[in-house]
Structure 1
Amino acid sequence: MQEEFISVWVRDPRIQKEDFWHAYMDYEICLHTNSLAFNKKSSCVRRRYSEFVWLRQKLHDNALLLAHIPELPPKNPFFSLNNARQITARMEGLRFFLEEIVRCPVLLSDSCLHLFLQSQLSVKKIEACAEGRSRYTVAEAIQSSGCRVQRFCSEEHSQEEGETDSE
């Protein structure tokens, strides 16, 4: 029997322009797993830092002190969308945050986490779906979320065998 694994990557930072003055960075979050906790075994979604802040707060509220919620990389008032070192450090911090969360069975049972990791829904729609206030279930939202899984699996699957805990 194969050992259960959940692999999470945070990569491909992209600047998204809201208008002439406002822009933000978002990141691709890819998940590959054989865990029974996930119906969809591979997925990729894009999320921005503020959505991670929302997720952390939501998990904190839902876990009711039953689980330790890891910290996010700190919000840097001088964060530059053009500073590669800051972007890399943030991506590493976000990856560490997600890796810690998916190791915790209490947090892994949270619908908001699954929708955050495996659907394209906004945080508002994630909340509505998790609370049963949408026309679709959590499973339907995740299954209908299209992504470029083939590219992800072909790039990352070969790395699985060589990965260690230190990576």
Structure 2
Amino acid sequence: MSKPEENAEEQTVEEVVENATEETTEETAEVVVDVYKKTIFSLVLHTKYYVRPLKRRIAPERLYRLTRKWVDLMWPLHTLIRKIPKIGHSINWRLLVADYSTWGVNGQLLKEWAYLDTFDMLGPRYDSPQTLSTVKIWFQEAGLDDVEVIYGYNGIEGRGKKPACVA
């Protein structure tokens, strides 16, 4: 499969599918996407989208170090906030500290998960929540067959098949 292009967000759906299928020798190529669902929550309340533009020029290694420092700084407050019934862990997420305390994770493992998932929250270069109808349009415009676009565990999942370009 082709490597993602630096300007991938400027490519059309057709170009992305063409790039993804051009090197295969199979009769049919399958295209699968998993994107976050676009909601008022994702657009307005998820603070990661406000912070990401500020970190675009930061190398991943440096961002990880900064993330660890942030989690360490916020950890005492995080520990207090997570005790607030029903909303504590949500507040922590808004403060950019991943909180899995409701999953039964605690102690040092909870902090390690906070390091990793907070970094994962801030690190992606491309993360653009979409609606179900937009993802369906992508697959339609790309000329894919056997299309399935559904709400999945973590957002929207789409699958479709396209005959490959055989050299």
TM exceeding 0.5: no
Higher helix fraction: Structure 1 or Structure 2? 2
TM-score tier, shorter chain, comes to under 0.3
TM-score normalized by the length of structure 1: 0.24
Taking CA–CA contacts closer than 8 Å with sequence separation of 6 or more, which of the two structures ends up with the larger relative contact order?
2
Larger radius of gyration: 2
